[in-house]
Amino acid sequence: MHTTTPLEQKQPMFRLDQMMRWYGPHDTVPLEAIRQAGAAGVVTALHHIPVGDVWRVDEIEKRKNTIEAAGMRWSVIESLPVHEDIKTRSGNWQRYVDNYRVSLQNVAACGLKVVTYNFMPVLDWVRTDIAYQLPGGAEALRFERDLFTVFDLFLLKRPGARGEYSETEYKVAAARLESMSPDEQQRLFTTAMLGLPGATEGFTAEQVLGLLEQYRDIDASTLRANLGAFLADVVPTAASLGLRMAIHPDDPPFPLLGLPRVVSTADDLRAIAREVPDEANGFCFCTGSLGARTDNDLPALLAELGSRVHFLHLRNTKRDTTHAGSFYEADHLDGDTDMAAIVEVALDIMRDRGESIPMRPDHGHRMLDDLSKSAYPGYSAIGRLKALAELRGLEEGLVFGATSRART
């Protein structure tokens, strides 16, 4: 006799609210292409507004009107960035917190619902290769620990870095450097710095070292306290406005460049949830970032945080078992994360909550005609279309299977 599972027992079924990221009018992937891919809406931000400045209502409405004119909608912000002064609790941090609250008031007035942000010091994300060739010829994003060590020790030449690496790590990095041409070294340097906000402007090593200096006396404990203070400052405002805050995990989820990272593990996320016990204080659950660690049980963590998950980034990574900390971005239904288990848990959460959760296929391979086109790393059109189609099919299969079993 068939025994019904939780997936079959609860009705009605809610589906993932399928989105794609759009970088605004300068994005080489237009809104029309995103709509053709099957997304119901986009997640975006006012990238032209300097970090820390107020997002004005007229600017928000202008962006919203552009999206709606293309037959789509905008309900999730990715991202409303947090100024470095807030993260270090120094300089003009109070003014930037006040500005952040005003921006929250303005986005709520314009009908937006979810505000994504991160608390990563200096670097938003890091890769060492944005054109890692897969066996079929498509290109993926990759992080290789040894190459990043080359960048840190010999290209950036960060003071004090030598003492943070073992003798073996140093020798391996020195050998890698010796094998690289000047062009390869420059490409690594440029790629590693793409995670800097505004990196397209071309940062120098001196500028990056200056940014790192702001964190000289900030360890993980201090950064964690500063995050808690920021949450206490802004979550009550967000809650009063009906907004949901969604912090994005660290990418990669471990310390780099001597900088602490405090949104990397299950315990980190639990601590954030406890810091301000209001459901407005929640998460952007990124399976790619969290999945780069071997000690994160993603389906279990997603189920545990269910009521606090306000946005889903679905992507898959394949960890390099011979080089700890290295990984590349695999097909969305491949890699080390059980995506079927993730989507099944998400379906269960949505039924419990009685609402859909916004989701986007995070990143995508550069493939087919997009190999000859420019795009933001990870955000070409065809790879994300493929990812969205696969995730949509996975969700449909899980829902259909549960419905069919419930009938028999």
Give per-residue pLDDT as tens, 33-71.
999 999 999 999 999 999 999 999 999 999 999 999 999
Question: Helix crossing, 57-69 with 93-109: angle to 10°?
Answer: 40
Does residue 201 lie within any of the structural domains? Answer: no
DSSP, res 366: B
Q: By residue range, what is the domain housing residue 371?
A: 6-122+214-407
CATH number at residue 363: 3.20.20.150
**Residue 311 pLDDT > 70:** yes
- Choosing from 313, 331, 332, 348, the catalytic residue is 313
The pLDDT value given to residue 145: 95
Q: Dihedrals φ, ψ of 316, to 5°?
A: -125, 145
The pLDDT value given to residue 280: 98
Does residue 24 lie within any of the structural domains? Answer: yes
Within 10 Å of residue 92's Cβ, how many Cβ atoms? 13
Does residue 39 lie within any of the structural domains? Answer: yes
> Across residues 279-288, what is the average pLDDT?
98
- Choosing from 83, 332, 363, 365, the catalytic residue is 363
Does residue 152 lie within any of the structural domains? Answer: no
- Choosing from 17, 286, 348, 365, the catalytic residue is 286
**Residue 3 pLDDT > 60:** no
Q: Which helix (H) or strand (E) holds 316?
A: strand 316-319
* Catalytic status, residue 26: no
Mean pLDDT of all residues in the chain? 93
* Catalytic status, residue 362: yes
The pLDDT value given to residue 198: 55
| pLDDT digit string, tens, across residues 191-242 | 998 887 655 556 788 888 999 999 999 999 999 999 999 999 999 999 999 9
* Catalytic status, residue 323: no
- Choosing from 248, 310, 332, 365, the catalytic residue is 248
Sheet holding 316-319, edge to edge: 129-133, 139-143, 327-330, 316-319
Compare 229 and 2 and report the one with higher pLDDT.
229
* Catalytic status, residue 286: yes
Q: How far apart are CA 113 and CA 280, in angstroms?
A: 10
* b/e per residue 310-323 (b: at least 16 CB within 10 A): bbbbbbbbbbeeee
> Across residues 374-398, what is the average pLDDT?
96
Give the confidence band of 400 by pLDDT, cuts at 50, 70, 90: confident
> Across residues 112-128, what is the average pLDDT?
95
Give the confidence band of 2 by pLDDT, cuts at 50, 70, 90: very low
The pLDDT value given to residue 407: 57
Out of 19-23, 319-323, 374-378, the most confident range is 19-23
**Residue 189 pLDDT > 80:** yes
Q: How far apart are CA 362 and CA 18, in angstroms?
A: 11
Give the confidence band of 6 by pLDDT, cuts at 50, 70, 90: low
Does residue 187 lie within any of the structural domains? Answer: no
Give the confidence band of 408 by pLDDT, cuts at 50, 70, 90: low
| pLDDT digit string, tens, across residues 331-361 | 999 999 999 999 999 999 999 999 999 999 9
Cis peptide before 252 (omega within 30 of 0): yes
The pLDDT value given to residue 403: 63
The pLDDT value given to residue 160: 94
Question: Helix crossing, 339-353 with 381-407: angle to 10°?
Answer: 70
The pLDDT value given to residue 203: 73
E-strand stretches of 64-198:
73-78, 114-117, 129-133, 139-143
Share of the chain above pLDDT 90, in %: 89
Q: Which residue pairs, CB below 8 angstroms and at least 24 apart, start in 184-191?
A: 185/150, 185/155, 188/128, 188/147, 188/150, 188/151, 188/155, 189/151, 189/155, 189/156, 191/127, 191/128, 191/129, 191/130
Give the confidence band of 1 by pLDDT, cuts at 50, 70, 90: very low
3 state DSSP class of 20? strand
- Choosing from 17, 85, 152, 362, the catalytic residue is 362
The count of domains in the chain is 1
The pLDDT value given to residue 259: 96
Does residue 40 lie within any of the structural domains? Answer: yes
> Across residues 137-162, what is the average pLDDT?
97
Q: How far apart are CA 136 and CA 19, in angstroms?
A: 27
Does residue 60 lie within any of the structural domains? Answer: yes
Does residue 165 lie within any of the structural domains? Answer: no
User: Is the CB of residue 87 less than 8 Å from the CB of residue 224?
Assistant: no
* Catalytic status, residue 47: no
